[in-house]
Structure 1
Amino acid sequence: MKKIILFLSLIHFCVSYCQISKINASVVKVKFVEVDDFIGEDALGFSYYIKDSNFIKLKNSENWQYTNIALGKIKRVDIQNPLKIVIFYENFNCVVILDNQLNEIKNINFSLENQEISASAIGISSQGNLWVFNSITMQLGLYNYESEVYKKIGLPFDKKIKSYSSNFNTFYWIDENNNFYSCDIFGKVNLLAQIPTYDSIYIADENTIVFGNQNVLYLMEVSKNKIYEIEISEKTFKNFQYKDQNLSIFTPKGITNYKINIP
């Protein structure tokens, strides 16, 4: 049965995107690190990692670490604002906000708040807000960590979130049917595309998605409905990041940075 489902998925993939071009990726830099997860790099060149539940910020001889054993495993980290780094501990329904030296600015326990919030998606937004998806109400909202007020935006979701990403003004998600949506801070929702079958994915923005399927990496230009197969040397990878035609591949051996030239 699994083979039949996989075969049908591949047929759907090929029919929907039968003209898949290949693009070359040129190696820029290779970094050997022994960590559990690679979060990304900021504009100042600092790299962020997770190792044994420790959150690490590293650049040359500069090294900071944050550990909160009581909250268990880190589910997600948002480093879009290096001065306010957001760490999400889903198992304990908690969020910790750190400064640029990984000191705690705010520790938020949604289970202790007056509202019934069970967070399953978190990201930093603008004006002192966090994106928070409440799995109890199946609704997206903005939580102001300064005033400690939660405001629902938009309507409840029909389907569960499969994958998500966000920036200061927009929350992106892919539902269980692989529909790709966006929602702005005013609650306006747009259906952007239907995403092919994937094993892993990175949503860069509303127009650019990188996804892996059967150990092959693809780049999708949403507005043009085009998909490119990215030719890289890695056959397996733990995760990947993409921004401004720069691709970072994380494997058990380390991180390889590529430059991609899109036609």
Structure 2
Amino acid sequence: MKNLFGILSLFIVTVLYGQNPIEVTHLSSTDFNVDMIVAIDNFGTFYYTKDNSLHKQTKDGKIINYSNYQLGDISSANAFNPLKINLFYQDFNQVIILDNRLAEIFKIDFNTLQPYKNVTHIATGFDNTLWLFNVDLQRLELYDYKTNKTRFTAVPVQSLVLDLKSDYNYCWLLTEKYLYQYNYFGSMISKIENTGFTEIAKNNGNLVLKKEDALYFKAENENIISALNLPKLLINQFLLTNETLYIYDSEKLHKYQLKIN
């Protein structure tokens, strides 16, 4: 198995850059004042943080929230699975799992685990798992928090980790040198040279990548990265829900429709 991972780690996918930008249609711009947008689902439910609390706002305007001030600032949040929302508090090296009512259902304190895990990035896995980056060992791990077992460990990476995203089928690890993609078994299925991308957003296997002040699109199972033809915007955050792209500039939430053939 180790030899297999060693062979896979040498496999680098060559990507092409599309000559024609992908057109987008502006749908709306709405005043919005939050610290971080976590997710926007297909039913119009917003998950966001404000004043170090997680808020869930449904389409009819109903809002519930969760806060845990004793753990410091929320470093990241993931609502991909609305029944198992995770909040990562990096300063305290802990994760809180919430249900769809934002009630605590599990608490993970990496400081008390054996062996100890020093975590910098978290993403949702399938079942009762989390993808996490263990900075002391410089490797991606798939951790089962119910059984306290590590199901998978990747080959250590040799460059700074910039972002980590996942869905039920895949996990993407963006480093300064490469973008790695793993399946839910932990096998690396692609390794793409990073040419300056710093953040990623995903939906249904499709990716949007940020480079400087521009966004790019990569479709699932394709090796072509195309620029998105967007107006000049301050891009503090961006999210992808199906073919809808959201861009947040800290004052307004802009909504665009991607025209993907």
- Given the alignment of the two structures, is residue 68 of structure 1 paired with residue 68 of structure 2, yes or no? yes
Output the CA distance in 1 between the equivalents of 2:189 and 2:79: 25
Cα deviations by residue, 1:134-191 (Å, 9 ceiling, x for unpaired): 11222322322222333443333343422221112322112221x1212233331133
Cα deviations by residue, 1:60-82 (Å, 9 ceiling, x for unpaired): 33101111111111111111111
Matching of residues 1-263 of structure 1 within 5 Å: 20-59=19-58, 60-177=60-177, 179-204=178-203, 208-221=206-219, 223-263=221-261
- Would you say the 8 A contact 2:174–2:199 is kept in 1? no
Q: List runs of 5+ in structure 2 lacking aligned partners.
A: 1-14
The Cα shift of 1:45 comes to 2.2
Name the amino acid aligned to 1:195. N
In 2 relative to 1, CA 181–103 (structure 1 residues): closer, same or farther, beyond 3 Å? same
- Would you say the 8 A contact 2:17–2:225 is kept in 1? no
In 2 relative to 1, CA 187–213 (structure 1 residues): closer, same or farther, beyond 3 Å? closer
- Greater RCO, CA 8 A, separation 6+: 2
The Cα shift of 1:234 comes to 4.6
The Cα shift of 1:87 comes to 0.7
In 2 relative to 1, CA 169–62 (structure 1 residues): closer, same or farther, beyond 3 Å? same
In 2 relative to 1, CA 223–82 (structure 1 residues): closer, same or farther, beyond 3 Å? closer
| Aligned match of 1:8 | none
RMSD: 2.3
* Deviates most, 20-29 or 219-228: 219-228
Instruction: Using structure 1 for the length normalisation, give the TM-score.
Output: 0.83
The Cα shift of 1:218 comes to 2.3
Instruction: Name the SS for the 1:147 alignment partner.
Output: coil
- Would you say the 8 A contact 1:200–1:239 is kept in 2? no
Cα deviations by residue, 1:3-45 (Å, 9 ceiling, x for unpaired): xxxxxxxxxxxxx867531232112233322111111212332
Write out the 4+ residue segments of structure 1 that deviate beyond 6 Å after TM superposition. Answer: none
Name the amino acid aligned to 1:254. K
Instruction: Using structure 2 for the length normalisation, give the TM-score.
Output: 0.84
- Would you say the 8 A contact 1:193–1:222 is kept in 2? no
- Would you say the 8 A contact 2:207–2:217 is kept in 1? yes
Work out the percentage of aligned pairs sharing the same amino acid.
25
Q: List runs of 5+ in structure 1 lacking aligned partners.
A: 1-15
Output the CA distance in 2 between the equivalents of 1:248 and 1:121: 22
- Would you say the 8 A contact 1:192–1:222 is kept in 2? no
